[in-house]
Amino acid sequence: MVPIIQLFGIDVVRFSIDLLTLYSLFLVVSLTLNLEAGYAGIPNFGKVMFVAAGAAAAGSASGQLAAFVLMINTHGNYTGYIYQVIPQIDAALTHNPGLSIGILLFGMLVAAVVGAVLGFAASFPAIRLREDYLGMLLLAAAQFFQIILSGYEPIIGGTQGIEVPNVFGWFFGDEIGVRDVVVLLVLGAFALLVFVYCEKVVRSPLGRTLRAIRDSELASRSLGKNDVAIRRKVIVVASAISGMAGALLTFYLGSVGAETWTRVTWTFWIWVILILGGAANNAGVALGAFSFTLLLKAVDQVKFNFQPFIPVDVNWLEYIMFAALLIGILVVRPDGILPEKPTLTLPRSVLGHIMESNVNTVDDEKSQPGKQTI
């Protein structure tokens, strides 16, 4: 069966590029959810809203900026003339790396601002309400937001969607394979940056304060921690990053529409990743995101081979499968692959030194991790 192995061999590269691209996006969004739900104790059941808002804003604003800079006539109706405008923009961008990068950065900036504004709005209920009320509110708000996106045409043309300038076209002409590698590099770099940032945050005094607030709001308040301000900060930052992830997805796909993001993908799957990897553990989330994406891509790869033998659409089986997976994890291993660990505030060598010199301090340093909220 050499041809199949050959085919499989060719597929491996393609498969890995797709896998890693999707992984980077899932990683970024699930890290922000980890910051909110894992560390700060804000269960965000409306994640899709923040990702979609960033993507829609970036997709719409970047194209309009490009049209404005390149002086392309949009007849005052950008979404209406999208099919005339975008090819002109793309043609100009292939010879203009500076403008391409500028538009990419502008789109991400707009997405971050829109995400932050939405996050700020969401922080008002988030700091007041109990977990169950907040979950209901955010889920309902996300549902409403999607209805608006699909109905209000001036932003992204409703359900039809709009095309987005190809900001990666300048690199090696318009070769599809090369473009995907460039996209992967950009997304991977962004994901790495977000990971490092999240690790820095949770190892900082702010990260420990977050856990303290999550575990006992009253106790942390009595120690003078401003839980309202800190929670607001977390939700704004996490939403801004989610928005940027949405913007990158838009530039990668080259189009954006109200149906691009579903509650299943950008709320439910992100939660599956968080629970699978282990809440309040960034390394766990990274591992969870990888296992989940691998599983998802493997199923995608396999499902069309098995489709003839299964009487129903495999996509539906996927829904049921991941739901069962999540409930299974909750039953068997609710803490995820890598459970939460106490953060060591000092390097190990220094800790060892302290341990040798003073036995009493050791007991304090080894204090137990807070109770798990998830």
Partner 1 sequence: MVEAFVTDTIVYASLFGLMALGLTLTYLTTKVPNFAYGSFVTIGMYTAFALYRIQKISPYASAPIAFVLGAIASVSMYLGVLRILSKRGSSLVALMIATLAVDIAFVGIFGIYSDYLTSRYAFIDSKQFYPIPDSFTLFGTAGIVYVAPISLGIVTLAVFLLLTQSKLGVAMRASVENPSLARVVGINVERVYVFAWLLAGGFAAMSGSYYVLWLPGGITGGSNLIVEIFAASVLGGLASIYGSVLGGLIIGASEVLVTKVALDQLGSWVGIYQKGIPLIIMVVTLLVLPKGITSIDWHRIFVKAYPSFASQLRRLYHSMAKLTRGES
Stretch touching partner 1 by CB under 8 A, among 109-117, 121-129, 187-195, 336-344: 121-129
> Under the criterion CB under 8 A, does residue 137 sit at the interface with partner 1?
yes
> Distance between CA atoms of 326 and 272, rounded to whole angstroms?
6
> Under the criterion CB under 8 A, does residue 50 sit at the interface with partner 1?
no
Q: Which of 73, 204, 315, 358 binds partner 1 (CB under 8 A)?
A: 315
Q: What does the block give as tokens for 145? A: 């937001």
Instruction: Between 334 and 369, name the residue whose CB sits nearer to partner 1.
Output: 334
Helix (H, G, I), strand (E, B) or coil at 255: strand
> Under the criterion CB under 8 A, does residue 288 sit at the interface with partner 1?
no
Instruction: Between 133 and 172, name the residue whose CB sits nearer to partner 1.
Output: 133
Q: What does the block give as tokens for 10? A: 């060719």
Stretch touching partner 1 by CB under 8 A, among 108-116, 195-203, 285-293, 320-328: 320-328
> Under the criterion CB under 8 A, does residue 159 sit at the interface with partner 1?
no
> Distance between CA atoms of 120 and 114, rounded to whole angstroms?
10
> Distance between CA atoms of 39 and 42, rounded to whole angstroms?
8
Give the chain's largest Cα–Cα span. Answer: 76
Number of amino acids touching partner 1 (CB under 8 A):
49
Min dist CB 43 to partner 1, Å, is: 5
Q: What does the block give as tokens for 368? A: 């137990």
**8 Å CB contact between 126 and 35:** no
**DSSP letters along 268-328, please?**
IIHHHHHHHH-TT-HHHHHHHHHHHHHHHHHHHHHHHHHGGGSSS-HHHHHHHHHHHHHHH
> Under the criterion CB under 8 A, does residue 374 sit at the interface with partner 1?
yes
> Under the criterion CB under 8 A, does residue 312 sit at the interface with partner 1?
yes
> Under the criterion CB under 8 A, does residue 156 sit at the interface with partner 1?
no
Stretch touching partner 1 by CB under 8 A, among 52-60, 122-130, 188-196, 235-243: 122-130
Stretch touching partner 1 by CB under 8 A, among 1-9, 64-72, 317-325, 336-344: 317-325
**8 Å CB contact between 362 and 263:** no
> Distance between CA atoms of 203 and 346, rounded to whole angstroms?
10
Q: Which of 136, 193, 355, 362 binds partner 1 (CB under 8 A)?
A: 136
> Under the criterion CB under 8 A, does residue 264 sit at the interface with partner 1?
yes
Q: Which of 331, 347, 348, 356 binds partner 1 (CB under 8 A)?
A: 331
**8 Å CB contact between 209 and 216:** no
Other Cβ atoms within 10 Å of 124 Cβ, number: 11
> Under the criterion CB under 8 A, does residue 177 sit at the interface with partner 1?
no
Q: Which of 10, 13, 148, 193 binds partner 1 (CB under 8 A)?
A: 148
Instruction: Between 68 and 144, name the residue whose CB sits nearer to partner 1.
Output: 144
Min dist CB 373 to partner 1, Å, is: 6
**8 Å CB contact between 241 and 115:** yes
Q: What does the block give as tokens for 115? A: 């995400």
Instruction: Between 100 and 123, name the residue whose CB sits nearer to partner 1.
Output: 123
Helix (H, G, I), strand (E, B) or coil at 256: strand
**8 Å CB contact between 251 and 168:** yes
What is the binding site for partner 1 (CB under 8 A)? Answer: 37, 43, 45, 124-125, 128-129, 131-133, 135-137, 139-141, 143-144, 147-148, 150-152, 264, 267-268, 271-272, 275, 311-313, 315-320, 322-324, 326-327, 330-331, 334, 372-374
